[in-house]
Structure 1
């Protein structure tokens, strides 16, 4: 299967998406301006969701946006931006997965700060922009978690859902087994959890993936 968009488009897209999924700090307005310039050169399925996000945040106060970021990503398990949470839960297996990711980053020359975890989606996208093949494999390895995060952000009416739409537009469509994994994860929660995560949408409510791909 031929992937769309082509690699020269995916890499700048991943860099822009990484910038917009980071915490809205004092540099956020600069990231927004840079992202808008870069988005205009991307194909419509990738660019349109980014522009929707940028239009939304253009009218937002940065402090209010930062508070919303914390409320969405830090206080809702279903909107967790740390990808190994979906595949490993809060288990020792997750620690091993994090170590492997950190080792891969170090081998590629990407050094994380002390307050950065290697499975944060913004970090994974930054890695993919710099190292497209191993980065793309990481994104595909966590395809089910990415889709569930996208759906959860839409359910929460969070503007970052548009950024996830754009991320998905850089990846192949969900295969049948991946859709099954999304449905299972939505129903049961991450591995090793004692109970399912009730806030996740039930499998019957899973829509088709966003087109173009994604």
Structure 2
């Protein structure tokens, strides 16, 4: 008797769907925990029903944490985790450009990818903010979005390590996102270790003329979007 074999194309399609679902859930969980978070968590829980494996369990733990945590506490933890610490920022170009003019060029490159896919760059957040990139990769252009994430795999690994070290529940989200990307190479691993030790590059000369004008999401004493 010849056993039936699953079509490789079907396997690839199923994997791509899982990656899109994980990135969509991650985008919702990594958003600022404002008054709309309960509605986002409803969507998360619906999407989790279509995700399998360890990634589902990891994402579900973060959703449960956000559901059980008082909003003001969740807000303070979010700001302290992502806005007050250089090694756990979610602005991806800050890792590659830091406080240099190169970062403006990098931000513009993200915006160009969005426009090439037929959508306008976000008006309420910088285009390199991880939740924005994840939303784009999940719902607009999985291939272009996946390339943006893969190109910033080293910063994502550094971010994940910083969150693990801090004991943050958000580490589970970044771990799930990294699982949707190609395996890290030895060279990338060494770059991540170096970046974790040294931090982003610094050259306090501003982002003009390349940076987009983006209104602030909220008040913060530390703003990686526009340098320090």
TM-score range, shorter chain: 0.7 to 0.9
Unmatched tracts of structure 1, length 5 or more: 195-214
Q: Which runs of 4+ in 1 moved over 4 A?
A: 2-5
Q: Which position in structure 2 is the counterpart of 1:77?
A: 86
Map 1:169-188; keep pairs closer than 5 Å: 169-188=179-198
Q: Note the C-alpha offset of 1:40.
A: 2.3
Offset at residue 172 of structure 1 (A) = 2.1
Aligned to 2:222: none
1:54 paired residue among 50, 60, 63 = 63
Summarize deviations over 1:80-130 as a string: whole Å, max 9, x none.
010111112111101001011111112223334433101100001011112
Q: Is the 8 A contact 1:4 1:170 kept in 2?
A: no
Matches within 5 A, 1:1-214: 6-129=15-138, 130-192=140-202
2:50 is paired with a residue whose SS is coil
Aligned pairs, number: 193
TM-score using structure 1 length: 0.84
Tell me by how many angstroms 1:188 deviates: 1.8
Cα RMSD after superposing both structures: 2.0
> Which blocks of at least 5 consecutive residues in structure 2 are unaligned?
1-10, 205-228
Q: Offset at 1:192? A: 4.0
| Residues 87 and 196 in structure 2, CA contact (< 8 A), matched pair in contact too | no
